[in-house]
Structure 1
Amino acid sequence: MKDLAELLAIAREAVEVGYRLITTSGPGVVREKGDRDLVTDLDIQVQQHIRAYLEQATPDIEFLGEEDGGGELDQTAERIWVLDPIDGTSNFAHGLPICAVSLALVERGESVVGVIAAPFLGLRYHATKGGGAFVNEKPMRASSNDDLGRAIIAIGDYAVGDGAAEKNDYRRSVSTALVENVERVRMIGSAAIDLVWVAEGRFDACVLYSNKPWDTAAGVLIAREAGAIVADTAGVPHDFSSGTTVAVAPGIASALWPLLQKRS
């Protein structure tokens, strides 16, 4: 059985496959797969190429990709690759450079390898469980900021589709609470980049209102390995059963949690 160092090398090369495709190809046909939820020909092509590489390099490891229709993560699986071929498809389809390839290796419900690359920004992130977090080969740490009023906090996209109105009532209340208490709020449209920018200290926190495994599996590991606290909006330690995803610099965590509670 391959060790984490070997699996990290495989994951990094797999993500490079996607990196090269994204930087040398256009989106192709853009379609809706749900209410205002886009998929491009290139999303599917990147997933197919990465999956083929992984199946050849690690034929014994299962695979879950967003563009296979999603689905539930089997948390009992010994090992499973979890891929978002282009996180931030709407950005990519509109020519915005904030998007990423996100790949994690999950062992029995816990991420142990995480690799994220932002092709148009020239940024490559990776981490292994217990091995620290790195950007472009340099170690990185979450922000040391301990003043909420000086914090830059990213928030996830507002909801679309069924039940969006009710979900967005809560999201707007959180946005209002943040706007009134932090230096700035940002919405960039890529959960993977939100998480690694907390890991890198560019953001002091990110608040994501969902927990799809392909969106969070790699970024949560990278953020934790960089020293961020990762929990849900109630402050409960994050896992794949969590409904939401929050990564926060330790110095502002206690001040942030009360702002994330549901309001009538």
Structure 2
Amino acid sequence: MKETAILAAREAGKLMLDWRQALPPGPAAVDYKSAKDVVTVVDKQAEDLIISHIRAKFPEHAILGEEGGLLKGSAESPYTWVIDPLDGTANYAADLAASCVSIGVLDGNTPVLGVVYNPFRDELFVGIKGGGAFLNDQPIRVSREAILEKSLMAFDLGYNEERAIQQLREAAFWRSRVRTMRILGSAVLALCYVACGRFDLFYHGALHAWDLAAAAVILEEAGAITSNHMGEPLDIYQPSVVTGNPEMHRLYFEVRKQFAG
């Protein structure tokens, strides 16, 4: 499964690059899935490409894609592939090089394989449950930062207006308590950046299974602690996530008790 996921992610990434490079610099044409959620022709093309690879090798597996929804597999198979063919579409459409392909595999409800590819930096993140986490074949670990005031915290907004406003309120709370903060515009990449130590903490209140399935394995294998916003074990079908190295994750919940938001 790993080889299939990597091949599909790289080919989808090439599709992203080819389409973007064929355009003049600047914003590309988009359609709207909702008032603020944009989609390009590449989102659907990339998902179709990934599905074709999975179906060719594992026709009995179920597939959950952001664009196409659930394709059922054999009742005997426990595996579901969870695809975000282009995470960070708003970045992609605006000609910002912070978007990626995300392919995760679940065994039942447990993420067991994650592949995330950013073609703009040619960075391939891979996580295998019980087998480690890697960036371009090199092992990765979460940061060792243990002082909140020295940490680099990331968060993102998503398209749920109420939750986005809440996350901005929380960001105002954290601003004076951490070194600095970032919004990357691709939750999947931000999660992977926690796994490789570029970010110390990340929180989000409005994610989907296709945002979390691949990254959850990469984070776990890289030594991150990942939970929902209540500190409970992560459920990829629930929208909230908090992740960081063990000490940063502990400090997040200890200090957040002061947030009145």
TM-score, L = length of structure 1 = 0.89
Q: How does 1:172-191 map to 2 (within 5 A)?
A: 172-191=168-187
Superposed displacement of residue 39, structure 1: 0.5
Partner of 2:151: 151
Partner of 1:4: none
* CA 1:104–1:147: 2 relative to 1, 3 Å: same
Q: d(CA) in 2 for partners of 1:156 and 1:200?
A: 18
Give, as a single letter, the amino acid of the residue that structure 2 aligns with 1:263: A
Does residue 20 of structure 1 match 2:17? no
Partner of 2:2: 8
Superposed displacement of residue 242, structure 1: 3.2
Q: How does 1:19-98 map to 2 (within 5 A)?
A: 19-26=13-20, 29-69=29-69, 78-98=78-98
Cα displacement string for residues 122-178 of structure 1 (whole angstroms, at most 9, x for unaligned residues): 110001101010000000000011000010011012544xxx2x4344212210121
Contact conserved, 2:242 with 2:249, CA < 8 A, in 1? no
SS at match of 1:67: coil
Partner of 1:250: 246
Structure 2 unmatched runs, 5+? none
Partner of 1:120: 120
Does residue 224 of structure 1 match 2:181? no
Partner of 1:263: 260
* CA 1:158–1:98: 2 relative to 1, 3 Å: same
Contact conserved, 2:195 with 2:224, CA < 8 A, in 1? yes
Partner of 1:3: none
SS at match of 1:239: coil
Q: d(CA) in 2 for partners of 1:155 and 1:46?
A: 26
Contact conserved, 1:234 with 1:260, CA < 8 A, in 2? no
Superposed displacement of residue 211, structure 1: 3.1
Between 1:134-143 and 1:45-54, the stretch displaced more is 45-54
* CA 1:259–1:68: 2 relative to 1, 3 Å: farther
Q: d(CA) in 2 for partners of 1:157 and 1:93?
A: 17
Contact conserved, 2:60 with 2:77, CA < 8 A, in 1? no
Q: d(CA) in 2 for partners of 1:167 and 1:195?
A: 18
* CA 1:70–1:56: 2 relative to 1, 3 Å: closer
Partner of 1:104: 104
Contact conserved, 1:195 with 1:223, CA < 8 A, in 2? yes
Q: d(CA) in 2 for partners of 1:244 and 1:145?
A: 23
Contact conserved, 1:66 with 1:83, CA < 8 A, in 2? yes
Contact conserved, 1:140 with 1:226, CA < 8 A, in 2? yes
Q: d(CA) in 2 for partners of 1:77 and 1:178?
A: 44
Contact conserved, 1:117 with 1:125, CA < 8 A, in 2? yes
Contact conserved, 2:209 with 2:237, CA < 8 A, in 1? no
* CA 1:55–1:69: 2 relative to 1, 3 Å: closer
Partner of 1:212: 208
Superposed displacement of residue 77, structure 1: 6.8
Amino-acid identity (%):
30
Q: d(CA) in 1 for partners of 2:14 and 2:45?
A: 12
Give, as a single letter, the amino acid of the residue that structure 2 aligns with 1:21: L
Q: d(CA) in 2 for partners of 1:121 and 1:169?
A: 31
Q: d(CA) in 2 for partners of 1:127 and 1:252?
A: 21
Cα displacement string for residues 176-206 of structure 1 (whole angstroms, at most 9, x for unaligned residues): 1210200011001111101110000000011
Cα displacement string for residues 54-100 of structure 1 (whole angstroms, at most 9, x for unaligned residues): 111111111111011579xxxx9711110000000000000000000
Cα displacement string for residues 214-244 of structure 1 (whole angstroms, at most 9, x for unaligned residues): 1111011101110000001121111224330
